[in-house]
Amino acid sequence: MPFELSAEHETFRKVVREFARAEIAPHAAQWDLDHHFPVGVVRAMGELGLFGLTAPEEYGGSGGDLTSLCVAIEEIGRVDQSLGITLEAAVGLGINPILNYGTDEQKQRWLPDLTAGRALAGFGLTEPGSGSDAGATSTRAVLDGDEWAIDGAKQFITNSGSDLTSCVTITARTGTTDAGEPEISAIIVPAGTPGFTVEPAYHKLGWHASDTHPLTFTGARVPADHLLGARGKGFAQFLATLDDGRIAIAALAVGCIQAMLEASVAYANERTAFGVPIGRKQGVAFQIADLHVMAESARLLTYRAASLRDAGAASAAVKQAASVAKLQATEFAVTSTRIATQVHGGYGFMEEYPVARFYRDAKILEIGEGTSEVQRLLIARGLGLPVE
């Protein structure tokens, strides 16, 4: 059954595309070179309403759907993957946990600034000793009177140390269940909390213009009412949050593939060899045709998953579609950058051409928010296989 975006979604796509081309594309290469997080443009994205797409109007959002967010992420990621992940993480990992599990007071306190792009929130799940095994959380939070005392560390946390960061939601062990398993809860930690240290930014392979830090908690204390959702439900909440996040990451990957397709078509029409444009050579043309197939396939899988989520489909169906989209789109993204670099030849290895930046940016797409191996595991389980 064919899937097409609505006329409203396509109109919105044009608005975001024009913004991305005018405000981001001319500067993306320099931001990448300088490892610069462009606060002003992030605020402008907020003024355009991108951070509030999925939030209700009462919190400053537009009450839109996940499909709209995917459209925005794809278009931003088409010119700059760093700003694309900034948007994806700000909404999917920063806003959504508070929106879905927060109390009325928490929503009123945090969401208006987050949805307006005046502030950003991080999502602290990964730790130095636990990557894909996210349930092996070692960060601890002890309820001491009317405060949580937090000790531990998180790593690879996006939007956690920028000038706009207002808080980070983390998972922490808050006790032991009756079955003897770790009780994992989610807690909101405001920026500037004593004992909460944002360590120096990583020197990354890609995503140079995004904000990513390790975090350390040494006796950091926050009020008891900063618990997000029910005590002991933090891990389950974060797993549910990742389902939407995987669809959004797939959209970011689609933007990458589309960028590689467009760059390769343009270069193959301009570059001549042996007296003719290289696009006349089947060896080049066939590779670019493959890029088109990748873009179309990844886009259909991504927006199918988003439409299932927006239609309120069963969680198992959404989870399966999200993993399928994330797996295929991100692996295609990595392949597309390799093909585009090959089409560009020696110039593809030079930073003056955007394909070099996209080549560096793409690999993390197969890792963040669940590696390709994790997605295959989830897909297999969804098919009823007893895989461990």
| Range 122-232 has CATH code 2.70.50.60 | no
In this prediction, residue 1 has a pLDDT band, given cuts at 50, 70 and 90, of very low
Beta bridge partners, 170, equal 124, 187
Q: How many CA atoms lie within 13 A of 215 on its CB side?
A: 37
Kindly state the tokens that stand for 284.
Answer: 């080049």
Pick one of 1.10.1040.10, 3.30.470.20, 3.30.1330.20, 1.20.140.10 as the CATH number of 235-382.
Answer: 1.20.140.10
Alpha carbon distance 359, 341 (integer Å): 8
Beta bridge partners, 92, equal none
Task: Express each pLDDT in 230-289 by its tens digit.
Answer: 999 998 998 899 999 999 999 999 999 999 999 999 999 999 999 999 999 999 999 999
CA angle 346, 352, 357 (to 5 degrees): 90
Task: Express each pLDDT in 48-83 by its tens digit.
Answer: 999 999 999 999 999 999 999 999 999 999 999 999
In this prediction, residue 132 has a pLDDT band, given cuts at 50, 70 and 90, of low
> What is the pLDDT, as a whole number, of residue 180?
86
pTM of the shown model = 0.97
Q: How many CA atoms lie within 13 A of 251 on its CB side?
A: 28
In the chain, domain spans: 7-120, 122-232, 235-382
- Does the pLDDT of residue 2 top 60, yes or no? no
| Range 7-120 has CATH code 1.10.540.10 | yes
> What is the pLDDT, as a whole number, of residue 312?
96
Q: SS3 string of the chain? A: CCCCCCHHHHHHHHHHHHHHHHHHCCCHHHHHHHCCCCHHHHHHHHHCCCCCCCCCHHHCCCCCCHHHHHHHHHHHHCCCHHHHHHHHHHHHHHHHHHHHHCCHHHHHHHHHHHHHCCCEEEEECCECCECCCCCCCCCEEEEECCEEEEEEEEEEEECCCCCCEEEEEEEEEEEECCCCCEEEEEEEEECCCCCEEECCCCCCCCCCCCCEEEEEEEEEEEEHHHEECCCCCHHHHHHHHHHHHHHHHHHHHHHHHHHHHHHHHHHHHHCEECCEEHHHCHHHHHHHHHHHHHHHHHHHHHHHHHHHHHCCCCHHHHHHHHHHHHHHHHHHHHHHHHHHHHHHHHHHHCCCCHHHHHHHHHHHHHCCCCCHHHHHHHHHHHCCCCCC
Contact between 272 and 278 (Cβ < 8 Å): yes
Residues with active-site annotation: 369
> What is the pLDDT, as a whole number, of residue 126?
93
Query: Are both 122-232 and 235-382 of the same fold?
Result: no
- Does the pLDDT of residue 134 top 70, yes or no? no
Torsion of CA 299, 372, 319, 74, to 10 degrees: -30
- Taking CA atoms, 127 is separated from 149, 171, 178, 191, in Å, by 18, 10, 25, 19
Task: Express each pLDDT in 310-341 by its tens digit.
Answer: 999 999 999 999 999 999 999 999 999 999 99
- Tell me what the mean pLDDT of segment 100-128 comes to: 97
Give percent of the chain with pLDDT exceeding 90.
93
Alpha carbon distance 310, 352 (integer Å): 40
